[in-house]
Amino acid sequence: MSAAADDSILSAGRVAPWLEQMVAALRGEGETDVPCGECVACCSSRQFVHVEPDEHAALAHIPEEVRFPAPGLPAGHVVLGYDDRGRCPMLGERGCTIYAHRPRACRVYDCRMFLATGVEPDRDQPAIVRQVRRWRFEPETADDTAVLVALRSVAAVLDDPACYPGDRLPSRASQRAAIAVGLHEIGRGGVPATPAAVRVELTRRSS
Ligand code: SF4
């Protein structure tokens, strides 16, 4: 992986079309299309990759010895761990060795969500921090500006436990960024998002 040392600027495209694609991916209606180049930051940042029981193609390509039962989830849900360098066991010297069959979690991960939402990546993932600093969205249209305002309005309240059913704050920054993407409509219309509005929507979606 050579991009870890590369601090050159990368175009992240326009934010409004990006959001449309990201929301669809999070709904299971597609996948993200990230111009990663040689970057493997997300594959080498001490992340547990969740694989669901219906992901037959991924499971068929992941050796049993690198799968572990997913904590707190029913039998059949597994996670991939990481080695002492933080690397996914399926990551080879030239990238993902099962790319065509990679898990759903990998297909919807897009580190541009940190740039879009303003959520800071976790400090224990310096390669992702570095990569996020390289992205720049292209010049904004009025629609793009509205999207950024909405995303950042929701993200700004997500450190408040009152947003979450049971007051359980998600431990990872990527979870909060994904929530901001999923709930961006709450921040639309010029009215700042509130923890109460976020909680109502998260409760509705989990019921
Ligand atoms: S399965 Fe492939 S894409 Fe997913 S984290 Fe591992 S190496 Fe990266």
What does the DSSP 8-state code read for residue 17?
H
Give this prediction's pTM: 0.93
The CA distance from 154 to 203, in Å, is 16
The rounded Å distance from CA 62 to ligand 1 centre is 10
As for ligand 1, residues whose beta carbon falls within 6 Å of it are 43, 49, 88, 90-91, 96, 98, 102-103, 106
pLDDT score of 4 more than 70: no
Confidence category of residue 7, pLDDT binned at 50, 70, 90 = confident
Could you read off the pLDDT of 186-197 as tens digits, one per residue? 999 889 999 999
Tell me the backbone φ, ψ of residue 102, rounded to 5 degrees.
Answer: -65, 155
Could you read off the pLDDT of 174-188 as tens digits, one per residue? 999 999 999 999 999
Residue type, 68: F
Token pair belonging to 17:
């079309």
The rounded Å distance from CA 32 to ligand 1 centre is 14
* Contact assessment for residue 168 and residue 131, using Cβ atoms and an 8 Å cutoff: no
Residue 113, CA distances (Å) to 42, 119, 181, 200 in order:
13, 8, 7, 23
Taking the CA of residue 89 as reference, the ligand 1 atom at the shortest distance is: 6
Could you read off the pLDDT of 62-105 as tens digits, one per residue? 999 999 999 999 999 999 999 999 999 999 999 999 999 999 99
Taking the CA of residue 95 as reference, the ligand 1 atom at the shortest distance is: 7
